[in-house]
Amino acid sequence: FSYKTVPMLARTVNVVSSTTQLSTAKYSATYDDATNTPASMEINKTYTIPITITNTGTLKWPSTGTNKVNLSYHWYDTAGRRIVRDGQRTSLLSDMAQGQKATLNAEVLAPSEAGTYILKYDLVHEAITWFSYKTVPMLARTVNVVSSTTQLSTAKYSATYDDATNTPASMEINKTYTIPITITNTGTLKWPSTGTNKVNLSYHWYDTAGRRIVRDGQRTSLLSDMAQGQKATLNAEVLAPSEAGTYILKYDLVHEAITWFSYKTVPMLARTVNVVS
C-alpha cells in the first residue's frame, strides 16, 4: 500500500540481544571491561580503558546538557574506605535508550599514593545521582598502584630488595639478627604467601672467594600474597655463620620446591659482613 502513497505507521524499536536483561527500574546498567583494567598502575598516571556499558533501565541517558549521563569511577582502599569519590568523567558517544550499548574509552587517573586499591566503575546522572546510589551494581577491579620509580617487568620472576643499610656490618657467630628488608614484586608471578609452593625471603652466605658456605638460609614468610607492583617490608631472620671471618650475605627469594629467584637471573642484594667470635 505504501507504493500507492498510503502512509505507513512508524515506530522506533531498540533490538537487543537475548542475553540482555532489561529492567523496569529507571536506573539500571551493566559494565564490561573485558579484563582491560590493568592489574597494576603507576601513581598519578592516567589510563585509557575500554568499557562497554549497556542501558538496561527505562531512563534514556542524555549525552549532552547539564544533566547528562557520564561514565566515571571511585577508588576505595582494601578496608572499604572511599579514597576518591569523583573520578574523571567520560562522555557518552550519543544518547542511549534502553537496550543500547556502547564502548567508551574511560579515562582513569590512578591514586597519588602507592598501595592496593579497588577501582569501581559507576555511571553518574550529573547533578542528580550516581547510579550506584540507585542500587545499580558497580564493576569492581583490584589494582596495585606503584611508584613511578618502580620498574615492572614482563618476566615471571622479577624482584628488588632494599635493606636501607639495615644489614649490620658486623655479626657474632651463630647469632640470629632481625633485619628489615623491603621487597618489591616487579614480575608477573603473583607470589603466594601460603601453601607448599609459597614464596619466602631467604639468603645465602658466601666467602670472599665466592664459595657458597650456606645455601639454605632461614625463611621469612610474606605478610600476604603479593601481586606485581606490590611491596612489603619483612623482618628477615638471618643466622650468622658458625665461624669467624669475612662473608658476603646475599638476600634471595625462593619459590619453595620450585626455584630460587636468583636461578631465574634475578639479582640478589649482597652485603659484606664481618663475622666475629
Q: Where are the domains of the chain?
A: 21-146, 159-276
Would you state the pLDDT for residue 10?
82
Angstrom distance (rounded) from CA 140 to CA 137: 9
Of the options 3.40.50.410, 3.90.180.10, 3.40.50.300, 2.60.40.10, the CATH number for the domain spanning 21-146: 2.60.40.10
Of the options 3.40.50.300, 3.30.43.10, 3.30.70.260, 2.60.40.770, the CATH number for the domain spanning 159-276: 2.60.40.770
> Where does residue 275 rank: exposed (0-12), middle (13-18), buried (19+ CB within 10 A)?
buried
Would you state the pLDDT for residue 126?
98
Q: How many helices (H) and strands (E) does the chain have?
A: 0, 20
* Sequence-distant (≥ 6) Cβ neighbours of residue 107 within 8 angstroms: 46, 47, 48, 88, 90
Q: Which residue has the cell 607492583?
A: 229
Mean pLDDT per 10-residue segment, the chain (277 residues): 88 63 93 91 93 97 98 94 96 97 97 90 98 97 82 91 93 98 94 97 95 96 91 96 96 98 96 95
Would you state the pLDDT for residue 15?
63
Would you state the pLDDT for residue 214?
96
Nearest CA to 28 among 95, 108, 100?
A: 100
- Quick check: do 21-146 and 159-276 share a fold? yes
